[in-house]
Structures are given as structure tokens and as C-alpha cells.
Structure 1
Amino acid sequence: MDRMARTPASGTSTRDRLLRAAEEQFATRGVHGAQLRDIVAQAGQANPSAVQYHFGSREGLLAQLLAERQRRVEDALTALGVDVDTATLPQLLRALIAAEGGELRTERGRHCLRITAQLSHDSGVRTRTPHPGLTGTGYWRLICALERPLTALPTPLPEPVRLERIDLALSLIGTALAERARQLTSGEPPLTEEPAFLADLAAVSAAMLTTPHPHS
């Protein structure tokens, strides 16, 4: 059946159907490439202004989608119970990747991983100003805590290098999880099992963050 012609599940609200359609469209066609008319059609709506009615705008729809995703990640972090003030760099990275990696286990989570990978540089790490959706979250506290171990290295990294590396590490993690999500969605067999993949991603990220700076 044509993906665009699917009948939305009964018993769900128009708002939820629009969100689910947006997750798929933004994931597969890009945050900037997806068309609102296709989202509305996939959600089974005849009114072309459905997105504006329920979310105010395309940006409002994306913001709500990301807010729901962030709540799931926050819940996962809370369940892990990591003390970000005392955790080591490997512990912080494993917690971050475990919370994000939980999204691989559902279709909507996989879509959202592919979406957030497109927005990884919007976190606010480079300016120390969190994206509005991250303000006050445990996720942001964990990201900020990644810098602490980098100041305790035998040769501490300069502040600009620390911030740039953390931003790059988040991009690496987001891109790796998004590609894994794409593989699972398309039915491609991954090269490694999920636990090994997540553990290796944490190890590679730690190595990238702590390698000596070439100009130090």
C-alpha cells in the first residue's frame, strides 16, 4: 500500500495522528524537506490547515514532537539513576547513550532519532545556552557534566576545545544512532548486536573527547 495513502489507526486523536505522521515524514524526508500537505494527508485529514489548527505552525509541530521525545529520554535517564556530579566520563557517556539508545526499540523512537540527528548542533553546547527544549532538564545537566572530566586530564583541554569536542561527540552519537535506526527501519541487518553497538559508541566517544590536543 502507498505509504501516503495509509488509513490512520482508529481510536487516536487528530493531534496524535498528525504527530505520528510528522515523525515519519521528518525522519524520511528531512526536517526541512517534508511537506505539511503530506503530513496532513498521511494523518487522514482533509483540512489542509490541520497542522496550524492543532500546533500553530510547522515549528510548533516539530517542537511538540521533540518535547515528547525529550520526556521519554528524561524518564530513561531518571531510571538509570546516575549522579552526574560524581560520575566518571565513561559512566556519563554510557548513561547518555543508554537513554538515547532506548529509542531504537520503537518505531516512533527510531523516527525521532533520525530527526534529532539533523538538529544535533542546535543543543547550545558551544555557547553554554541550552536549546529551550533542554532548559532545566537532566539531559542538559548530563551534557554539561561531560566537561568536568576534560578539565582533569593530565594536560587539560582549553575551554573552546572542550566545548567543540562535546558538541562533536553529541553529533557522533546522534548520527550513529540515527543510522542504526535507519537500518532497523529498512530491515538491514546490523553488523553488531545492540549492547555491543552502544558500548562501542560510548568507548569511541570517550576516546574522541580525551585524546590529547595536537597543539597542546
Structure 2
Amino acid sequence: MARTSGPETREKLIRAGEEVFAEQGVDGAQLRDIVRIAGQSNPSAVQYHFGSRGGLLDAVMAARQERTELVLADELERVGDGAGLRGLLGALVAAEATELRTERGRRCLRVSAQLSHESGVRTRTPHPTIDGTVYWRLIGLVEDCLTEAGLPEPLRLERLDLALTLVGAALGDRARQYLAGTTPLTDERLFLADLVETTAALLRAPRPHLGDAS
């Protein structure tokens, strides 16, 4: 009989969750498929170890965040204080792109692309998996750049959320292509450089001046 307790089983369920959430979608994933792929005989194994589907999803994202945190910290140290918007975005994209190197990371990028809107940026309440992380600190540094550019708070927060969604969607799609064996239109170096420039352009767009609509 397969084990239904212990750290080994927990890790098996996380790995299976990565696979199923990536292939079936966060909302469409079947827990029975996760349990089966993890080799568990107890149909309530997910609930036993994580409390719920959401608990397992948080564990999947926490594991992914842990892998990229150290890279992001090194990237921020490399660009140094006063890096500016482009330097900060370059550090973010470089760290997130390390997930493209492994099949596991690619699956996790596909999952996290579905969750970028849950970061908590718009309400300034970080999701528990990123609260207190280097990632959340970087978001604050990017917002500082937008504040210096004179953007009002609602517009800053909305653009930040859109920018994170863009980065997540782009990397998630690249991961999908790699997993499917599809040849991308551009090589990875150009793709990542263009993602930085595109995201910077979104954030740097001039503040709209709305005329009289009457």
C-alpha cells in the first residue's frame, strides 16, 4: 500500500500537483488525478496533507518561489542600488526565467501564469506565498520608480498588476512551447530581452490626459 503520510508523500503530491495543474488548469484540475499520479491509495491524501486543493496549490507555488528567491536576491545585488526600472525588470525576468531550464519549472510557470492576478498588488496585501519575500520587495522598488514618474497610486497599482500578468503570461507560454516541443519564433535570449523592454514600455507609458468627453 502506498504511503499516505510523511514528507516523501507530501513531495510526491506537490510534484503531481505541478503536473496536473499545468495540464488541466488550476480550476479544472482533478484531485483524483493528482492522488493517482502521486501513487497514493487514499483518495483524501490531498486533504490530509494540505487541507484542500488551495493548500496544495499554495505549496506548489511556495516551492517554486523558494527556487527563484535566491536567484532574484543575487540579481538585485548584481544590478545594485539605483538600478532603475529596466534594471529591476531585468532582475525579475532573469530570475523567473530560470524555471524554463527544467521540466518541473516549466510546469510551474504554466501554473503561476494563471495566478498572477492573486499577487495582492492591487490591495497591497501580498499573497501568503510571497509575503516578506525578495519578490515582494522588488515590486515595491518598481512602484517607487513609477512614483518618481508622477503616476498616481491607482494607476501605479493597476500597471504593476498588469506588468506582472504580462511577465507571467509570456513565460508561461514559452514554457508551454518547450513542453510541447514547439520551436519558438525567437531564441530565448532575444525573447527575454524583449520581455523586459515590453514590460518597461507598459510601465513607462505616459499618464493619459483625458479631455472633455462631452
Deviation at 1:84, TM superposition (A): 7.0
CA contact 1:85–1:145 (8 Å) conserved in 2: no
Secondary structure of the 2:185 match is coil
Tell me whether 1:147 sits opposite 2:143 in the alignment.
yes
Structure 1 residue 53: deviation in Å? 2.0
Deviation at 1:82?
Answer: 4.5
What is the percentage of aligned positions where both structures have the same residue? 62
1:19 is matched with which residue? 14
* Unaligned stretches of 5+ residues in structure 2: 1-6
- Aligned-pair CA distance for 1:47: 1.4
Deviation at 1:134, TM superposition (A): 1.2
Does the 8 Å CA contact 1:84/1:145 hold for their aligned counterparts?
no
What is aligned with 2:122? Answer: 126
Report the Cα distance in structure 2 between the residues aligned to 1:57 and 1:26, rounded to whole angstroms: 14
Instruction: Give the 4+ runs in structure 1 shifted more than 4 A.
Output: 82-85
1:3 paired residue number: none
What is the SS of the residue equivalent to 1:86?
coil
Shift of 1:214: 2.1
Residue 151 of structure 1: how far off its partner (Å): 2.3
Give yes or no for contact 1:183–1:190 (8 Å, CA) kept in 2.
yes
Amino acid at match of 1:35: Q
Segment drifting more, 78-87 vs 196-205:
78-87
Distance in 2 separating the partners of 1:128 and 1:84: 25
Q: Name the TM-score, length of structure 2 as normaliser.
A: 0.90
| RMSD after superposition | 1.6
The separation in 2 between residues aligned to 1:169 and 1:208, in whole angstroms, is 7
> Does structure 1 residue 105 correspond to structure 2 residue 110?
no
Contact 2:167 2:195 in 1 (8 A): yes
Matched residue SS, 1:164: helix
Match of 2:201 among 207, 210, 213: 207
Q: CA deviation at 1:68?
A: 0.7
Note if 1:69 corresponds to 2:64: yes
User: How many residues are treated as equivalent by the alignment?
Assistant: 203
The question of whether the paired residues in 1 share the 8 Å contact of 2:72 and 2:92 is answered with: yes
Contact 2:79 2:87 (C-alpha < 8 Å) held by counterparts = no
What residue number does 2:36 align with? 41
Shift of 1:56: 2.2
